[in-house]
A = this chain, B = another copy of it.
Amino acid sequence: MAPDYQLTIDKLLLQTIHRKSRSEIVYGKTRYTWVDFYSRIQRLASGLEGMGVKKGSKVAVVDFDTNRYLEAYYAIPMMGAMLHTVNIRLPPDHIAYTMAHAEDDYVMLRDDFVPMATKIASSVKSMKGVVTMSDTGSAPSLPMMNVKFYDDLLSQSSAHYEFPDLDENTPATIFYTSGTTGMPKGVWFTHRQIVLHTLGSQIGFAGSAPKNRLDPKDVVLPLVPFFHVHCWGIPYGVGLNGQKLVLAGRYDPTTILELISREKVTFSDMVPTVLNMILSQPTLEKYSDALSRWKIVIGGAAFPRELAIRAMKFGIKVMSGYGLSETAPVLSLANPTERHMLLNDEELLDTVLLKTGLPVPLVQIRVVDPEMKDVPRDNRSAGEIVVRGPWFTREYYKDEEKTRELWAGGWLHTGDMAVLDDEGYLTIVDRMKDAIKTGGEWIPSIILEDILMRHPAVSEAAVIGAKDTKWGERPIAILSMRQGQMTNDEGLRIHLQKFIEDGKILKFWIPDRFVIMNEPLPKTSTGKIDKKPLREKYSTILAPI
C-alpha cells in the first residue's frame, strides 16, 4: 500500500515548489521565479510531447548557458526522455558523430548553431524534429520538417502536463567526453544517479570551510558550460535549494563581471582558464566590491597556486574540487576538517584548499599501484586514483572494450595519478598519460608546470615527455609569457634551482628544453591546455644528448 518511492529528478524540486521560492532565474533580460519555472517546464514537456517526444526518446540540446537549457535539464528527463547535452566546443564532424552515435531523435537548437547543424544534418539520420531557440525573440529559418520555435512551443502548450512516475533507473542524461585520443565517448546517467549525485555533492559543498561554503542564500552563477557533465551538478543543486540562479549565456569576461556585480552573485564553479580570463580583465578593479563577496570552486584541471593568490588578493574565496565526466562528476572537494580550525587563510590554502580534497559522501577513493595495492599515505608515493560510488557511469555507451578498461577490477579507473597524505587528502600529480617516464621514474608534469608558473614572466606552462633514446622520455616545457614580460632558459633554470634546494622537486626533473611561445597555449573544448598538438609538434624533436 505504501507507494514505491523512486529517486527521480522531479523529487529534487519538491521543496522549492512547496515553499514557492521567489528566487529568480536570470538570463539576459529574462527573469522569472522557480514557481514560474515549474509551469514553464510543464509547458515545455507538453509541447515536446506534441512534437512526438516520448519515454525513451533522445533529445539533444545545442545551446550556451540559458534558461531554456535549464528547462531542458528538468523537463526532458522528467518526461522519461534522455537529455543529450551536446558538446558544442567539438569540431562539427565530432558533434555529428556524437549525435549519430547517441541516435538523437530531437534537437533543441540555438540560432547561432543553425549553420553548423545544417551542415551535419544529413549525418544524423535518427532526427525527427527540431526546436529552434533564439535570444532575439524570432525564429531562425530552418528548411526541415517538424520544426517549432521554443517561444511558440511554450506559449502554445498547456501548463497542465503531469510528469509521469518513472523508475529511478530510467536513463536521464548522456554526454560525450572530448577524448584526447580518438572519437568522443558517451557517458550516461540515470535519474537515481543524478539524485544521489545532487545529495552527495550538496552535503560536500555545505561542508566546505565557513568562508567557502555553499549556502541556501547564495546567488549562483555557473561558469562550467551546461553541456559539460551536468555543469558539475549545479543546475540540479540550485533546483533543490531554490537559490537565485544567474546564467551567463556565451561566456564573455566583461558580461560575467557585470553579472557578478549587478545580480550580486556569490558562488561560481569554473576551470582555471576561465578564472584566469576573468582576472586578466583590465577593468577588474572596478568590480572589487563584487569580487570580495565571490566564492569559487575550481576543477577540471589543477588549480595553480599563483592563480589562487591573484584571486585571493581581490577577496575571492577559492577552493578546489575534483571529478570526471565519467563520475557525474563530483568526487572530492578541498574541505577542511576539525584539524584545520585554527589555520589562517594562507595556511588553509596550502594545507587544504589547493588540494584535490577529500571524497564527498558515498564516494570511495583509493590510490593504487599497478597491482591495485594501496600506495602508502606519505604524500609522496604516487598511484592511480580508482573510485566507487553510486553515481558513476556504468559504461561507455556502446563501447564494451573501453568500458572494460574503465571498470577493470570492479573499480572505476580515473587515469589520474595522485598522492595521499596521512589525513586522506588527495593531491593529483598528473594524468597517467601526462606523467613523464624517465629512467624508470615518474616526473609529474603538473607539479613542474605549477612551479614554472610561479616565475613572474610565465603566464602558462605545459610540460610534456619527449622521446629520448637514453632515458625513454625527458621533460620539455612549453611556456607562454605574460604581456610585456620575458625570460630565457637561464632564468628558468635559476628559478627551478630554488625549488630543488627547497626539496620540492628533483634535479632530474629540470626540463631538457624550454620552448617559449608568443601566443597562448592551445586549449581543449573545455578550456584546459591541450597537450595533444604540443606533443605532436615537440615530443620527437629533442635530439638525444
**A32 interfacial by beta-carbon distance below 8 Å:** no
Of residues 1 through 26 on chain A, the ones whose CB sits less than 8 Å from some CB of chain B are 1-3, 5, 7, 11-12, 14-15, 18-23
A337 with B21: CB separation less than 8 A: yes
* A92→B240 CA distance, assembly (Å): 46
Count chain A residues whose beta carbon lies closer than 8 angstroms to a beta carbon of B: 62
User: With a CB–CB cut-off of 8 A, which chain B residues contact A23?
Assistant: 338
A14 with B203: CB separation less than 8 A: no
**A199 interfacial by beta-carbon distance below 8 Å:** yes
Pick the contact of A207: B5, B206, B388, B407 (CB < 8 A). Answer: B206
B339 with A22: CB separation less than 8 A: yes
**A343 interfacial by beta-carbon distance below 8 Å:** no
* A407→B1 CA distance, assembly (Å): 6
Stretch from A355-363, A460-468, A498-506 that touches the partner: A355-363
B404 with A3: CB separation less than 8 A: no
Stretch from A73-81, A132-140, A297-305, A390-398 that touches the partner: A390-398
Of residues 342 through 361 on chain A, the ones whose CB sits less than 8 Å from some CB of chain B are 358-361
* A7→B192 CA distance, assembly (Å): 11
B341 with A388: CB separation less than 8 A: no
B364 with A14: CB separation less than 8 A: yes
B207 with A412: CB separation less than 8 A: no
- Chain A interface, >50% SS class: loop
* CB-based nearest B residue for A6: B390
User: With a CB–CB cut-off of 8 A, which chain B residues contact A3?
Assistant: 388, 410
Over the window 189-226 of chain A, the binary record of Cβ atoms lying under 8 Å from chain B Cβ atoms (1 yes, 0 no) is: 00000011001101100110010000111000000000
User: With a CB–CB cut-off of 8 A, which chain B residues contact A291?
Assistant: none
Closest Cβ of chain B to A163, distance in Å, is: 13
* A425→B23 CA distance, assembly (Å): 17
User: With a CB–CB cut-off of 8 A, which chain B residues contact A423?
Assistant: 19-20
**A474 interfacial by beta-carbon distance below 8 Å:** no
* A5→B328 CA distance, assembly (Å): 15
User: With a CB–CB cut-off of 8 A, which chain B residues contact A335?
Assistant: 216
* CB-based nearest B residue for A214: B206
Closest Cβ of chain B to A388, distance in Å, is: 7
- Identical copies in the complex: 2
**A527 interfacial by beta-carbon distance below 8 Å:** no
**A242 interfacial by beta-carbon distance below 8 Å:** yes
* A398→B22 CA distance, assembly (Å): 45
* A403→B360 CA distance, assembly (Å): 37
A361 with B20: CB separation less than 8 A: no
**A230 interfacial by beta-carbon distance below 8 Å:** no
B388 with A338: CB separation less than 8 A: no
A19 with B199: CB separation less than 8 A: no
User: With a CB–CB cut-off of 8 A, which chain B residues contact A12?
Assistant: 361
Closest Cβ of chain B to A352, distance in Å, is: 11
Pick the contact of A216: B2, B195, B243, B337 (CB < 8 A). Answer: B337
User: With a CB–CB cut-off of 8 A, which chain B residues contact A359?
Assistant: 14-15, 18
* A40→B392 CA distance, assembly (Å): 31
**A376 interfacial by beta-carbon distance below 8 Å:** no
A424 with B338: CB separation less than 8 A: no
A199 with B206: CB separation less than 8 A: no
* A424→B339 CA distance, assembly (Å): 39
A361 with B199: CB separation less than 8 A: yes
**A178 interfacial by beta-carbon distance below 8 Å:** no
Pick the contact of A390: B7, B207, B403 (CB < 8 A). Answer: B7
**A247 interfacial by beta-carbon distance below 8 Å:** no
**A389 interfacial by beta-carbon distance below 8 Å:** yes
**A244 interfacial by beta-carbon distance below 8 Å:** yes
B217 with A341: CB separation less than 8 A: yes
A207 with B216: CB separation less than 8 A: yes
User: With a CB–CB cut-off of 8 A, which chain B residues contact A408?
Assistant: 1
* A11→B196 CA distance, assembly (Å): 13
**A296 interfacial by beta-carbon distance below 8 Å:** no
With A18-B358, A19-B358 already in contact, 17 other A-B pairs whose C-beta atoms are closer than 8 Å:
A1-B403, A1-B407, A2-B403, A2-B407, A3-B388, A5-B392, A7-B390, A12-B361, A14-B364, A15-B359, A15-B360, A15-B363, A18-B365, A19-B424, A21-B337, A216-B338, A240-B361
Ordered by A's residue number, 30 sampled pairs between the chains whose C-beta atoms are within 8 Å are A1-B395, A1-B407, A1-B410, A2-B393, A2-B394, A2-B410, A2-B412, A5-B389, A11-B362, A12-B361, A14-B359, A18-B365, A19-B337, A19-B425, A20-B422, A20-B423, A20-B424, A21-B337, A21-B338, A22-B338, A199-B200, A199-B361, A203-B206, A206-B206, A207-B241, A216-B335, A216-B337, A217-B338, A240-B361, A242-B337
